[in-house]
Structures are given as C-alpha cells and as structure tokens.
Amino acid sequence: MQITDELVRRAKSAAGNAWWEGQDPVLRQVLDERNEKQNLRLARFGLWAAAITYVSFGFSDIYLLPDVGSLVFLFRIGLAIVVLSLLETGIWLRLPLKAIQAFSAMAILASAFGWLFISITSSERQLAAEYTIFGTIFILATNLFFNFRFSLAAASSSIVTAGCIYATTSMIDVDFKTKFIHVLFFTTSLTFSLYLAWRLSHERYHTFVNSLQAQIQEQVAIEKGRQLKKIAETDPLTGMLNRRALSQEFFALKRSELALGKHIGVILIDVDFFKRYNDSLGHDIGDECLIRLSQCFQETACAYHGVAGRYGGEEFLLLCSVRDKEELATVAKALCDAVEALKISHPDRPDKRDIITISAGATMTETEGAMELSVLLQQADRALYASKFASRATFTIYDPEAVHMHASRQNLALLLSEAVERELVSLVYQPIKDAQTGKLLGHETLMRLRDFDGTPIHPPVFIPAAEQTGAIVELGNWAIEQALTDLCVEDNDTFVTVNVSAVQLKTPGFPLKVAEILSSLGVQPHRLALEVTEGIDIYMEVEAHRNIENLKRLGVQIWLDDFGTGFAGLAWLNRFRFDAVKIDRSFLVECQSEQGLSLLEDMVRMLKHQKFTVLVEGVETGEQRALLKQLGVDLMQGYHLGMPAPIEKVERRKARGRG
Ligand code: C2E
Ligand code: CA
Ligand code: CA
C-alpha cells in the first residue's frame, strides 16, 4: 500500500476521533480493499457452510411438520443448488466483493423467507409457530458470519426480522402471549447482533487505523534513518563520500575484489598549493574549485570501476580494484591528466605553472601483509609526500624499499612517542558559548602536532596513529592536565572539555589518573568534561563501560561527541546518562535545505525531550547562530564564535572580555 500525505493526514485525524464520530470514507475504502481477498473467502466459505446446514435442517422439517416437510426439504435443496452455482459463477467471473456480498445477503433473505412461509402453512399451527424461532439463526448469520459492511448487515437482518415477526403475528390462531414472546425475541436478537456487528466493524476499523499509524511511523523512521545515513556518509561541500563512507567502501571492496584475486588500489590526492589559491581568490572560488575537482575525480573513478571521496580539506581518496602496479599507475596518471585538462587557472603558484594540479600517492593491497586501510593510508601518505618532494603535479607509487618514502614525515610512531618531551605537541582551545545569551561558558581542547621540521600534522592523521601505537594514553593524560592547568586553576567559572579516544577509555585505571590530576591541581571534577565519540565501539567493552561509570561517579562530566554520525547513536543515548550531546556539524551544514532543517529540528527536539543539554558544533555564520537560538539549543561552538586558539590568545580574549 502506498502511504500518501493524504492518508497520513486522514489516519492522524481518525486516530483522534471518538466512536460516535463515524468512519473516514477514504480509510474505510482502503480497509475494504485491503481485506477484499479475505472477505471474499469468508463470503464463499460462509455460503457453502450455510447451504449445507440449511439443507441438513430439512430432516427436522420432515420430522416436525410432516405435512409440508418434504416440500420445505425440496425447496432447501433447490435453493442451495441455485445459490451455490450462482456464487461460484460470480467468483469465476471475478465479480467485485460488493456484488458477492449483496448476492450473499439476498441468498440469506431467500432461504429465510422460503423456509418460513412454507412452514407456516403447516396444519401443526402451534409447532410451526414455535419453529419460526429458528428465524433468529438467519438474523445472527447476516450480522456475524459474513463481515458484511454494517449498512448491508443492518438492512438485510432487519428485513429477516420483519419477515419473522410478520410470519408469527399473521398466524391468527396462535395465542397473543406466544406472539408477544416471539416478537420480543426477534427484536432483541436483532438489537444484540446488530450491536455486536457494529462493534466488530468499529474495532476492525480502529485496529486498521492503528496499524496504519504504526506503518506510517515505521516508514517515517526508515526515511529519517536513510537521511541520517546519507548525511553521515557524504561530504557536505562536494556531495562525495566522506572519510567514514570511504572506509566502508574499502571493506566492501575488500570482500568482493579480493575474492576475485584482485587488489585494491588506494590513491591519496592533494591539491597543490591550494591554500595559496584560497587566499588569493577567496573561499567561494576555492569551494567551486573543489567541487569541479570532485566531479573530475568521480568521473575518473567511475571509468576505472572505483569510488572517490573527500578525505578532508583539499585531500581526496580514490579506491579502485587493480591487477598490478602498472594498472595502479595508469589510474593515478589518468587522475593527474584529467585535472590538468581542466585548466583551472591558479594565479599564485610559487612555481612556474599557472594551473591547478594535484599530487598523488598510491599503494595497493599485497597478497600478504598490508590489508588494513590505516596501513595503506600511511603508505599512500608517504608516497604522496614523495610526490610533493619531487616538485608536485605528479604521482608516486609506494615502494617500501625507497628511502625517500620515509624522509618527509619521518616515523610518525617515533614522533608521537617523543611529542610531549620535545614539545612537538600543543593545545588550542575553542570557545563554547551559551546559545541563548552568547555568554562564554567553557572551551574545547584540541590537540596540535608538528613534525620535527615544523610542518603541522592534522589530527585526523596523528590521532589514529597515536591510538594504534598506544601513544594516545600518555598524550591524552597530558592534554587533560595541561588543559586544566591552562584554564581551570586560576579561573573559577568556566569548564574545559577534552576529547578522549576509545583506547584511553579502555585503559584500566584511567578514572584514577583523572582523579589524581584533578586533586593535584585542586580543580572541581565537574569543571572537566570528557568528550567521547559515539562512533567508537566501547559499547561492548566492559572496561570502558566501567571507566565511564567511575568517571561519572567521580563527578566528571561525560559528553557525547559527533552525535548523529555513528550508527549506534540512539542506542548510545540510553546507555549512559550523558551530561551533554554535541550534534555533529554536518547537520548544520545540511540546514540549507528544508529537509536538513527539519532533521536538525527533530534531533534537537528529541534530545531536549530526553532532557539532554544540546550543543551544536560548526557554527560558521550569524544566520546559523540565530537559527540555533530559535531552536532552543543550549550550547554552541564554531569558527563564527571563536577559532581554536593557543592559551595566550585565549587569555587575551578573556582579558578583553573583562575589560
Ligand atoms: P572534534 O572533536 O569533532 O573537534 C572539532 C573539530 O572541528 C576540530 O577540528 C575543530 O577545529 C573543528 N571546528 C570547530 N569549529 C568549526 C567550524 O565552525 N567549522 C569547521 N569546518 N570546523 C570546525 P580538529 O582540531 O582538526 O580536530 C579534529 C578531530 O580530532 C576532533 O574532532 C577530535 O575527534 C580529534 N581530536 C582533536 N584533539 C584531540 C585530542 O586531544 N584527543 C583525541 N582523542 N582526539 C582529538
Ligand atoms: Ca570533540
Ligand atoms: Ca565533534
């Protein structure tokens, strides 16, 4: 059944109707159509059963009223044969249910009256009069056995009743009391069975309206889930797959291609000198350029039966199935050529070229070893850096033997292990504000890392690496201590949030460490909030679960980060009593469309209904800020309200705020 808006509206209003308000004709028709087959079967079965019973009663006619019994018996048999043949012909001709039901009602009338009016001609007056009592069977059958529409059941059963009453009262030689008892009995039977028929029809209708409501809700939930999934999987600017979706694509490819004996090629792409392009032409032109490039990557990916997505900023990723390194090189070269063919002019390149080009690093799965996406990405990343080294606008295929593959990003593991000691890691703080008043309430701590040569390494690159090597435990503890020292020791009124990864949460003794830091600095636990991401699978981990409970008991706040992007979102909400929920910025980006806006509204309403403090991330414009205020969001965060900045800048901001 197609659920239209019209049907949704009618079902909604019908569910609120009281019993005396009548049934909605459109819904009624839908119900009849839905039950058509079943009712047809019921009518056919009913008539066959009725005909057999009707004929069997012929024996009691012969026994009770010997003078007319045989005639009645013959009538019964004749009528049964005619009715059943007509019924079967009607079904064979595929007559509509309405016609079959009307015919059934007429058959009942004929059988009742035929029997009745022959019987009362018997000379056994008293007996015949008493025998008319069986007329009630026809009344009951019409009302209760055939699922007739109420109007049809009422009309035909009333006619049978009238016939029965007429038959009894017309027998002048029966005493008045007997007549009275009969009339009373027939009318009571009619009233009761009509009431039951009405109740049944009413209940069938209401069950249908309720099931329709449930069906509508389910459809809405499925549709919402589909939208959520789509938003969670696409890059808002280019509409390409995002990082999350790409890793799923990788798993899917892994399953299908490896089984066919093929390899998966992973090509990491970086747009050359894109920052300069952006700075000289502005962000709008920059965005336009990224969109054109994304189309170009997608077309190339399509040509090689692969998929392309945006990996972050100006980095893109292409996954495809390849037979060998030669084929991988063909795809990578095709990418570079396709971009150059676009001839997008770049006015501010430090080299001699004047158009947009890309650098690419490519690698592929081996028969043994390197199967994990993270490992392949690291390899592709090294190859990409080798391309950048070789004056850009080129591609490099990863080669574990080549020394320059290790040259530029060094060994990330080594870097991470020495990061704190050599002060390569630092923290920046982004303000979190009251969405209603704009008041500064706290800061989110974001980690920054520099390579030995000073080049910044993005969190999406080093955080997963630190999780892999376990360095995140030390880095994370350091971040908590540093953030509290920077923001909570002297200042007494704001809070600070720190991101924690699953690895930290799973580490035994993590809450104890946090308690130690808090007490050594003399900071109240509630001023620290730990942000956990719903995507991480601590759901099943006993240790992580216990740690979260202990941290909560300690008084530390636990916030749910990136809500809406993972798949366990709703289940997670019920798992822990989160102190706040941060809605991922992708939902705010989607708000340009009406659908996206209603999705965000629904989300906020749902979270507020469950009494969560709601924060929306990624506020980049004044309009977005006004929208959040209007939606009743509690907290907000984003570039428009404050960029992530080092502590010195935060202090200056605060001083300005006070002054
Ligand atoms: P996140 O926790 O969702 O952090 C918010 C990210 O959004 C930050 O990126 C921030 O700079 C960026 N952002 C804030 N406002 C806006 C805005 O208005 N528009 C846009 N486009 N972006 C905005 P960043 O610093 O690159 O961090 C990326 C991710 O790395 C973080 O996402 C977090 O998951 C992780 N991360 C950062 N620091 C740490 C840390 O100390 N520990 C752990 N475990 N993870 C961290
Ligand atoms: Ca966060
Ligand atoms: Ca977030």
Is pLDDT of 405 > 60? no
> Could you tell me if 14 and 63 lie in one domain?
yes
The highest-confidence range among 298-302, 382-386, 607-611, by mean pLDDT, is 298-302
- CB 482 less than 6 A from any atom of ligand 1: no
Residue 228 included in any domain: no
Each residue's pLDDT tens digit, 202-228: 888 888 888 888 888 888 888 888 888
Residue with tokens 């979102």: 569
Residues with CB under 5 A from ligand 3 (ion): 561-562
Measured from the Cα of 427, ligand 1's closest atom is: 41
Mean pLDDT for 315-319 is 95
User: 144 with 112: CB under 8 angstroms?
Assistant: no
Kindly give the distance from the C-alpha atom of residue 444 to the centroid of ligand 2, in angstroms, as a whole number: 7
Residue type, 69: G
User: 393 with 335: CB under 8 angstroms?
Assistant: no
Is pLDDT of 251 > 50? yes
Residue with tokens 């949704």: 8
> Could you tell me if 212 and 244 lie in one domain?
no
Among 76-80, 232-236, 386-390, 499-503, the minimum mean pLDDT is found in: 386-390
User: 322 with 265: CB under 8 angstroms?
Assistant: yes
- CB 628 less than 6 A from any atom of ligand 1: no
Which pLDDT score, from 0 to 100, does residue 288 have? 95
Burial 126-160, CB ≥16 within 10 A → b, else e: eebbbbbeebbbbbbbbbbbbbbbbebbbebbebb
If residue 31 lies in a helix (H) or strand (E), which one and from where to where? helix 25-56
Kindly give the distance from the C-alpha atom of residue 617 to the centroid of ligand 3, in angstroms, as a whole number: 7
User: 637 with 625: CB under 8 angstroms?
Assistant: no
Kindly give the distance from the C-alpha atom of residue 209 to the centroid of ligand 1, in angstroms, as a whole number: 47
> Could you tell me if 201 and 341 lie in one domain?
no
Residues 6+ apart with CB under 8 A from 503: 467, 470, 472, 473
Measured from the Cα of 446, ligand 1's closest atom is: 38
Residue 235 included in any domain: no
- Ligand with smallest separation from the Cα of 430: 1
Kindly give the distance from the C-alpha atom of residue 312 to the centroid of ligand 1, in angstroms, as a whole number: 12
Return the percentage of the chain with pLDDT > 90, whole number. 50
Kindly give the distance from the C-alpha atom of residue 239 to the centroid of ligand 2, in angstroms, as a whole number: 23
Q: Which of 366, 400, 434 is the last residue of a domain?
A: 400
Range of the domain at 201: 5-216
Each residue's pLDDT tens digit, 532-554: 986 555 455 778 888 999 999 99
Mean pLDDT for 119-147 is 87
Q: How confident is the model at residue 382 (pLDDT cuts 50, 70, 90)?
A: confident
Question: What CATH number corresponds to the domain at position 244?
Answer: 3.30.70.270
Which pLDDT score, from 0 to 100, does residue 26 have? 87
Measured from the Cα of 584, ligand 1's closest atom is: 3
Is 454 or 169 the better-scoring residue by pLDDT? 169
User: 618 with 444: CB under 8 angstroms?
Assistant: no
- CB 644 less than 6 A from any atom of ligand 1: yes
Mean pLDDT for 345-357 is 86
- Ligand with smallest separation from the Cα of 432: 1
- CB 496 less than 6 A from any atom of ligand 1: no
Q: Which of 184, 216, 248 is the last residue of a domain?
A: 216
- The residue among 340, 386, 341, 378 whose CA lies nearest residue 360 is 386
Which pLDDT score, from 0 to 100, does residue 408 have? 43
> Could you tell me if 42 and 167 lie in one domain?
yes
> Could you tell me if 281 and 211 lie in one domain?
no
Is pLDDT of 1 > 70? no
Question: What CATH number corresponds to the domain at position 654?
Answer: 3.20.20.450
Which pLDDT score, from 0 to 100, does residue 641 have? 96
> Could you tell me if 303 and 365 lie in one domain?
yes
- CB 463 less than 6 A from any atom of ligand 1: yes
Is pLDDT of 370 > 60? no
- Ligand with smallest separation from the Cα of 616: 3
Residues 6+ apart with CB under 8 A from 535: 244, 562, 565, 566, 567, 568
Each residue's pLDDT tens digit, 419-434: 888 889 999 999 999 9
Q: How far apart are CA 56 and CA 2, in angstroms?
A: 47
Q: Which of 200, 216, 232 is the last residue of a domain?
A: 216
DSSP 468-534: HHSHHHHHHHHHHHHHHHHHTSS--S-EEEEE--HHHHHSTTHHHHHHHHHHHHT--GGGEEEEEET
Residue 72 included in any domain: yes
> Could you tell me if 196 and 97 lie in one domain?
yes
Which pLDDT score, from 0 to 100, does residue 367 have? 62
**pTM for the whole thing?**
0.52
Kindly give the distance from the C-alpha atom of residue 651 to the centroid of ligand 1, in angstroms, as a whole number: 21
Classify 590 as helix, strand or coil.
helix
Residue 227 included in any domain: no
Residue 408 included in any domain: no
Which protein residue's CA is at the shortest distance from atom 33 of ligand 1?
A: 499
- Ligand with smallest separation from the Cα of 582: 3
Which pLDDT score, from 0 to 100, does residue 455 have? 72
Q: How far apart are CA 394 and CA 490, in angstroms?
A: 52
In terms of C-beta density within 10 A (0-12 exposed, 13-18 middle, 19 or more buried), how is residue 550 classed? middle
Kindly give the distance from the C-alpha atom of residue 323 to the centroid of ligand 3, in angstroms, as a whole number: 39
Kindly give the distance from the C-alpha atom of residue 432 to the centroid of ligand 1, in angstroms, as a whole number: 13
Q: Which of 499, 531, 589 to mutate to test the pocket of ligand 1 (most atoms within 8 A of CB)?
A: 499
User: 145 with 157: CB under 8 angstroms?
Assistant: no
- The residue among 234, 384, 257 whose CA lies nearest residue 309 is 234
Q: How confident is the model at residue 472 (pLDDT cuts 50, 70, 90)?
A: very high
Q: Which of 283, 290, 429, 446 to mutate to test the pocket of ligand 1 (most atoms within 8 A of CB)?
A: 446
- CB 560 less than 6 A from any atom of ligand 1: no
Q: How confident is the model at residue 575 (pLDDT cuts 50, 70, 90)?
A: confident
> Could you tell me if 144 and 274 lie in one domain?
no
Residue 348 included in any domain: yes
Residues comprising the chain, all counted: 659
Which pLDDT score, from 0 to 100, does residue 82 have? 96
> Could you tell me if 292 and 428 lie in one domain?
no
Is pLDDT of 500 > 50? yes
- Ligand with smallest separation from the Cα of 480: 1
Kindly give the distance from the C-alpha atom of residue 187 to the centroid of ligand 3, in angstroms, as a whole number: 73
Mean pLDDT for 567-575 is 62
- CB 431 less than 6 A from any atom of ligand 1: no
Is 285 or 540 the better-scoring residue by pLDDT? 285
Each residue's pLDDT tens digit, 410-420: 467 778 888 88
Q: Give the total number of structural domains in the chain.
A: 3
CA angle (466 as vertex; 460, 467 as ends), nearest 5: 90
Q: Can you name the residues that pair with 456 across neighbouring β-strands?
A: 450
Is 658 or 298 the better-scoring residue by pLDDT? 298
Q: How confident is the model at residue 351 (pLDDT cuts 50, 70, 90)?
A: confident
Among 168-177, 366-375, 491-500, the minimum mean pLDDT is found in: 366-375
Residue 61 included in any domain: yes
Which pLDDT score, from 0 to 100, does residue 427 have? 97
Is pLDDT of 265 > 70? yes
Kindly give the distance from the C-alpha atom of residue 72 to the centroid of ligand 2, in angstroms, as a whole number: 89
> Could you tell me if 211 and 245 lie in one domain?
no
Which pLDDT score, from 0 to 100, does residue 568 have? 47
Which pLDDT score, from 0 to 100, does residue 192 have? 95
Which pLDDT score, from 0 to 100, does residue 299 have? 95
φ/ψ region of 372 (left if φ > 0, alpha if ψ in -120 to 50, else beta) reads: beta
Which pLDDT score, from 0 to 100, does residue 303 have? 93
> Could you tell me if 394 and 502 lie in one domain?
no
> Could you tell me if 39 and 141 lie in one domain?
yes
Mean pLDDT for 580-608 is 89
- Ligand with smallest separation from the Cα of 473: 1
Strands of the sheet with 315-322, listed across from one edge: 307-312, 315-322, 263-271, 358-364, 395-397
Each residue's pLDDT tens digit, 321-349: 998 999 999 999 999 999 999 999 998 88
Which protein residue's CA is at the shortest distance from atom 23 of ligand 1?
A: 618
CA angle (414 as vertex; 411, 418 as ends), nearest 5: 140
Measured from the Cα of 447, ligand 1's closest atom is: 38
Name the average pLDDT for the chain.
Answer: 88
CA angle (388 as vertex; 385, 394 as ends), nearest 5: 110
Kindly give the distance from the C-alpha atom of residue 166 to the centroid of ligand 2, in angstroms, as a whole number: 85
Residue 85 included in any domain: yes
Which protein residue's CA is at the shortest distance from atom 19 of ligand 1?
A: 618
Is pLDDT of 111 > 70? yes
